[in-house]
Structure 1
Amino acid sequence: MTELLKLSGVHTHIGRYHILQGIDLVVPQGQTTMLLGRNGAGKTTTLRTIMGLWQASKGEISLAGMRIESRATPDIARLGVGYVPESMAVFSDLTVKENLVLAARDGPLDDAQLDWIFGFFPALRRFWLSRAGSLSGGQKQMLSIARAIIEPRKLLLIDEPTKGLAPAIVMALIECLKEIKRKGATILLVEQNFFAARELGDNVLVMDNGTIVHRGEMAALAADVPLQERLLGLSLEAHQ
């Protein structure tokens, strides 16, 4: 399999804290790779370091063979990397439409792409001219994801997208991410919801104390409860 993203010996310090301690990982092109681990293991820091929001203090990060660890976040985004943070990054004072117009850097909004997004997240059409700050938490998450996929991306970095969402919205989100992958995107996904992880993941990486402690197929981990308990402290079903 062709590797799209590769981290080699990546360390990240935040102030006096040494968070990532020599991360080595590969994300294959065209697949969804789950990044799992206990709270505080370094998952969010890994995504933020890839995106350039926090600078790696050591090591190499390559996107399609191009070194990016010293690039600024806007430059990384222009290379085709989309980021959906756990914090649901939207512009609260702007409308849904204005949020998506800002995200579509390459030109006007594409009507076909919008219709495709509305098919998964109809609330965005309904609140098209409403301020994003007036949306519910689930609707803000829909908008955050829509901002990341309004244009085709080589790589999507997504941090716990189902957290706090109603089951119906989780199902729509799963179908949306499956369709994004079918269209050729590569996804690195942090997720605590067992059902979503099992449904979406091709591969899995498990983190602990700032390092990768397990790598393999998601289906194999989903079928091995003792391994889940050893790596995560409890079974994946307990994360639902």
Structure 2
Amino acid sequence: MSENILSLKGVHTHIGAYHILHGVDLDVPRGQLTMLLGRNGAGKTTTLRTIMGLWQASQGSIRFDGRDITRRGTPDIAQLGIAYVPENMGIFADLSVRENMLLAARGARSIADIDTARLEWIFGLFPAMKKFWLHPAGKLSGGQKQMLAVSRAIVEPRKLLLIDEPSKGLAPAIIANMITAFRELKQTDTTILLVEQNFNFARQLGDSVAVMDDGRIVHRGPMAELAENEELQTRLLGLSLAAHQ
């Protein structure tokens, strides 16, 4: 489908005295995985946090699924069907995997209230979640914590996932597992906006791509087009995907 589930138009964000986003125009097509790429400090995380209402846009508009969410609070935005997986994962270290999942399932008072088929689907994506179901989340490995963070975000059906650098610091085998899981997620009705620094990860998963620089979107197009154009990669990102094969 060509319809955009999320659109940012002329979005500016200030954090204290700092002007971080300078008129971001970004469209996220429904049913696709859109990569948001850019050098460190380009404004990628600020964009996700602004969409989620954690930081308020000082100018411009954000529309999600036909609604203006520019001035809505984070709980209201989440209720509309957006889940956010921050770079720091946002899990509760002192709680078990089971308790973390229950907290993320807003409509459930007990594990029995969570759709069993959906839980089994998540266990299929991330078997470690079933293995460590009763273990404290803080004792999981880095890769397992990332799996838990994503599992929490999808424990209930979401229209849009905002995910910030899911492969950061992970071993290659865990990254491969994450790629497989995201490929399966892409087959559902979930739209994904994903910030990533691992360009091989981006190449394998992205349908479309937007590149940020200095708080602005400076390139939009198919991910495959960027993956095949080393000159464009170098100009936009400072290095080529080929260097990260």
Asked whether the two chains share a fold, i.e. TM above 0.5, the reply is yes
For residue 181 of structure 2, what is the amino acid of its counterpart? C
The whole-number CA distance in structure 2 between the counterparts of 1:232 and 1:221 is 11
For residue 183 of structure 1, what is the amino acid of its counterpart? T
**More off after superposition, 150-159 vs 188-197:** 188-197
Question: Which residue, 202, 206, 212 being the options, matches 1:201?
Answer: 206
Instruction: State the shift of 1:231 in Å.
Output: 0.4
The whole-number CA distance in structure 2 between the counterparts of 1:239 and 1:230 is 16
Instruction: State the shift of 1:162 in Å.
Output: 0.7
For residue 206 of structure 2, what is the amino acid of its counterpart? G
Sequence identity, in percent? 67
For residue 149 of structure 2, what is the amino acid of its counterpart? S
Instruction: State the shift of 1:118 in Å.
Output: 1.2
Question: Which residue, 114, 121, 128 being the options, matches 2:126?
Answer: 121
The whole-number CA distance in structure 1 between the counterparts of 2:153 and 2:244 is 26
Question: Which residue, 162, 165, 170 being the options, matches 1:160?
Answer: 165
In structure 1, runs of 5+ residues without a counterpart are none
For residue 28 of structure 2, what is the amino acid of its counterpart? V
In structure 2, runs of 5+ residues without a counterpart are none
State the match for 2:187 in structure 1: 182
Instruction: State the shift of 1:238 in Å.
Output: 3.7
For residue 86 of structure 2, what is the amino acid of its counterpart? P
In the TM superposition, 1:30-41 aligns within 5 A as: 30-41=31-42
The whole-number CA distance in structure 2 between the counterparts of 1:111 and 1:175 is 22
The whole-number CA distance in structure 2 between the counterparts of 1:181 and 1:124 is 20
Residues 200 and 244, structure 2, Cα contact 8 Å, conserved in 1:
no
State the match for 1:80 in structure 2: 81
Instruction: State the shift of 1:239 in Å.
Output: 5.1
User: What secondary structure, in the 3-state scheme, does the structure 1 residue paired with 2:57 have?
Assistant: coil
The whole-number CA distance in structure 1 between the counterparts of 2:104 and 2:17 is 34
For residue 220 of structure 1, what is the amino acid of its counterpart? E
Question: Which residue, 131, 134, 143 being the options, matches 2:136?
Answer: 131
User: What secondary structure, in the 3-state scheme, does the structure 1 residue paired with 2:122 have?
Assistant: helix
State the match for 1:100 in structure 2: 101
Residues 93 and 131, structure 1, Cα contact 8 Å, conserved in 2:
yes
Counterparts in 2 of 1:201 and 1:113: CA distance versus 1, 3 Å:
same
TM-score by length of 1: 0.97
User: What secondary structure, in the 3-state scheme, does the structure 2 residue paired with 1:70 have?
Assistant: coil
User: What secondary structure, in the 3-state scheme, does the structure 2 residue paired with 1:11 have?
Assistant: strand
For residue 178 of structure 1, what is the amino acid of its counterpart? R
User: What secondary structure, in the 3-state scheme, does the structure 2 residue paired with 1:57 have?
Assistant: strand
The whole-number CA distance in structure 2 between the counterparts of 1:200 and 1:109 is 29
Is 2:147 aligned against 1:146?
Answer: no
Is 2:212 aligned against 1:211?
Answer: no
State the match for 2:232 in structure 1: 227
Instruction: State the shift of 1:102 in Å.
Output: 0.6
Residue-by-residue CA offset, 1:34-59 (whole Å, 9 max, x unaligned): 00000000000000000001110111
The whole-number CA distance in structure 2 between the counterparts of 1:148 and 1:236 is 29
The whole-number CA distance in structure 1 between the counterparts of 2:119 and 2:31 is 23
**More off after superposition, 116-125 vs 7-16:** 116-125
For residue 168 of structure 1, what is the amino acid of its counterpart? A
Residues 192 and 239, structure 1, Cα contact 8 Å, conserved in 2:
no
The whole-number CA distance in structure 1 between the counterparts of 2:63 and 2:32 is 17
